[in-house]
Amino acid sequence: MTSDVADIVIAGAGPVGLMCAYLGQLCGLRVVIADETDGPLKVGRADALNARTLQLLELADLFAELYPLGKTCNTSSVWADGKFLSHQSSWWDELEGCFHKHFLMLGQSYLENLLDGKLSKMSARVKRSTTIVNMELNKAGCLTTFSNGEKIQSRYLIGADGSRSFVRHHFQIPFKIIRPQIIWAVIDGIIDSDFPKVPEIIVFQGETSDVAWIPREGDIDRFYIRMDIKDFTLEEAINKINHAIKPHTLRFKEIVWFSQFSVKESVAEKFFVHDRIFLAGDACHIHSVNGGQGLNTGLADAFNLMWKLNRVINFGVPDKLLQSYENERKPIAQSVIESSGELVRSTKYSQTGTHAQDYVNIIQKRSGNITGMGIRYGDEGLCGSRLFDLEIFNGVVKTRLYSLLDYAKFTLLIFADDMVDLNLPKFVKVIQIHSNKYQTSYWTNSSQYVNQAVLVRPDSYIEAVTPVDLEWPMLFQQIIDRI
Ligand SMILES: Cc1cc2nc3c(=O)[nH]c(=O)nc-3n(C[C@H](O)[C@H](O)[C@H](O)COP(=O)(O)OP(=O)(O)OC[C@H]3O[C@@H](n4cnc5c(N)ncnc54)[C@H](O)[C@@H]3O)c2cc1C
């Protein structure tokens, strides 16, 4: 079959591959995406989008459609051996620079279906029931062969093909898996219980068993049940729930999804090989579900990667920019493995008898990962930190900074009153934000960036910042010349 040409081929249309394809479309890249399944996920798997993901969804104009479908949740309580122990939400309440200080409890299938539908409307329909069977590197990039015999030549290829990644195996990227022998049952269903149903995560802890009750969209509730054995039945898992919530009882009126989750942990040695091939999502990092970080971390990979490919492919910047994907994302993946690993081990091993309280303390310590808001690139200072969202006005109309950002562009925010005339390329969107309300354009009188010029990357991390003084336009011109 003849070979077609694309900028990027994406192996796998799980949430991460779909997000890569969608962001690629927003940037005007020619993307081909294929998946061996016949359609997006219908039930199960990841259940929560964290606060940082909600901000990223806003950048990509997806937030407004997804947000009303889920349930917000930022509190959790811990019960141990039948007694209420603690109630906490401080790490959410203390978040700064965001307006959605909570998880959005929403099944992975909603995101997949939304993205799959958007790609179809953008004439970039996922090639379904199509497996990637071979890849050959060549001077122009990579020649991919699909199960239907079709071949596509692309400049780059992204392996977003999940934890058993064919791409990772094909390019022999080491992925050493640790198996801590912790096995969970996962049940989604509609329940009937005399335990009061509340919109918060409830963890029931005992030295021999843990159960986490997670609120979900619609009528559904999710239960994670630590089983310790590999072979168990649905009935045995439900019995464990009833044991944990004693003296209350619970029954399922309907089971929507029942699965087993054996904890495995690994980070791929490389996220970028042969200057052509990327790994993203579960293909390059897997870990326990504790802290709900798998899907969120994978989506952040997509947001980190696609703007860089846009800059290289559409704007001709040197491709050394692409190495920063691995440099930035691999340490984050490592820290996610550590935080989810610490959490899941604490459910099994307690030396002090303070099992339940230990879990809460770890969540508090690792809250930057769990909320997603502690993720930054670089050690300190404003550069490399996430841009804080803030309320601004356009004349008398209230809006928010994040709603003005555009994933296909850098944004130069000028928090100053004097008008500035800069000759900037079209990949930089300029927004001047005045400090007083007498303006007919954007203004705010409460910003930590006052009298500063802030250059923001497409994924809403700060690239550069400088005080607005006589020198700054020249300085910024120089910065923009090098990005
Ligand atoms: C059984 C299970 C239960 C889970 N439960 C939870 C949970 O309870 N909570 C939670 O937070 N997270 C859970 N996760 C993790 C979460 O679902 C993942 O982090 C998330 O799906 C990662 O998305 P991804 O796109 O990277 O990979 P995936 O969602 O795995 O998508 C990879 C895609 O690639 C396709 N593919 C693979 N090979 C090929 C090929 N050669 N050619 C074409 N297509 C291919 C697959 O069909 C799949 O659609 C669970 C994962 C699994 C497997």
- Of the three residues 309, 337, 371, the one that is the final residue of a domain is 371
Residue 437 has pLDDT above 80, yes or no: no
Q: Does residue 395 sit in the same domain as residue 365? A: no
Give the pLDDT confidence of 77-121 residue by residue, as tens digits: 888 777 888 888 888 999 999 999 999 999 999 999 999 999 999
Which residue's alpha carbon is at the smallest distance from atom 48 of ligand 1?
14
Q: Does residue 463 sit in the same domain as residue 402? A: yes
Q: Does residue 11 sit in the same domain as residue 45? A: yes
Is position 434 within any domain? Answer: yes
Cα(246) to centroid(ligand 1), Å: 34
458 pocket-lining for ligand 1 (C-beta < 6 Å): no
24 pocket-lining for ligand 1 (C-beta < 6 Å): no
Instruction: Provide the residue range defining the domain that includes 429.
Output: 391-482
Give the pLDDT confidence of 248-262 residue by residue, as tens digits: 999 999 999 999 988
Is position 440 within any domain? Answer: yes
40 pocket-lining for ligand 1 (C-beta < 6 Å): no
Determine the pLDDT at residue 463.
Answer: 94
Give the pLDDT confidence of 37-47 residue by residue, as tens digits: 999 999 999 99
Banded model confidence at residue 315, pLDDT cuts 50, 70, 90: very high
Determine the pLDDT at residue 306.
Answer: 98
CATH of the domain at 38: 3.50.50.60
- Of the three residues 341, 371, 401, the one that is the final residue of a domain is 371
141 pocket-lining for ligand 1 (C-beta < 6 Å): no
CA dist., res. 86 & res. 205, Å (int): 12
Residue 164 has pLDDT above 80, yes or no: yes
**pTM of this structure:** 0.96
Q: Does residue 365 sit in the same domain as residue 397? A: no
Is position 404 within any domain? Answer: yes
CA dist., res. 72 & res. 350, Å (int): 31
Percent of the chain topping pLDDT 90: 71
Cα(14) to centroid(ligand 1), Å: 6
Is position 83 within any domain? Answer: no
Is position 228 within any domain? Answer: no
Is position 299 within any domain? Answer: yes
DSSP state of 455: E
3-state secondary structure of 234: helix
CA dist., res. 23 & res. 306, Å (int): 6
CATH of the domain at 477: 3.40.30.120
- Of the three residues 338, 371, 404, the one that is the final residue of a domain is 371
Q: Does residue 14 sit in the same domain as residue 126? A: yes
Give the pLDDT confidence of 375-390 residue by residue, as tens digits: 999 888 899 999 999 9
Q: Does residue 361 sit in the same domain as residue 430? A: no
Cα(48) to centroid(ligand 1), Å: 14
DSSP state of 403: G
First to last CA, the chain: 40
Q: Does residue 295 sit in the same domain as residue 417? A: no
258 pocket-lining for ligand 1 (C-beta < 6 Å): no
Q: Quote the number of domains for the chain.
A: 2
- What tokens does 154 get? 């692309």
Q: Does residue 155 sit in the same domain as residue 289? A: yes
Q: Measuring CA to CA, how many Å separate 419 from each of 52, 252, 414?
A: 32, 63, 9
CA dist., res. 100 & res. 110, Å (int): 19
186 pocket-lining for ligand 1 (C-beta < 6 Å): yes
Q: Does residue 294 sit in the same domain as residue 437? A: no
Mutation to probe ligand 1, out of 106, 132, 157, 161 (largest number of atoms < 8 A from CB): 161
Q: Does residue 170 sit in the same domain as residue 280? A: yes
Is position 205 within any domain? Answer: no
Is position 136 within any domain? Answer: yes
- What tokens does 91 get? 């790490």
Comparing C-alpha atoms, which of 369, 367, 227 is closest to residue 294?
Answer: 369
Q: Does residue 353 sit in the same domain as residue 292? A: yes
Q: Does residue 277 sit in the same domain as residue 420? A: no
Give the pLDDT confidence of 267-310 residue by residue, as tens digits: 999 999 999 999 999 999 999 888 778 999 999 999 999 999 99
Residue 12 alpha carbon, nearest atom of ligand 1 = 34
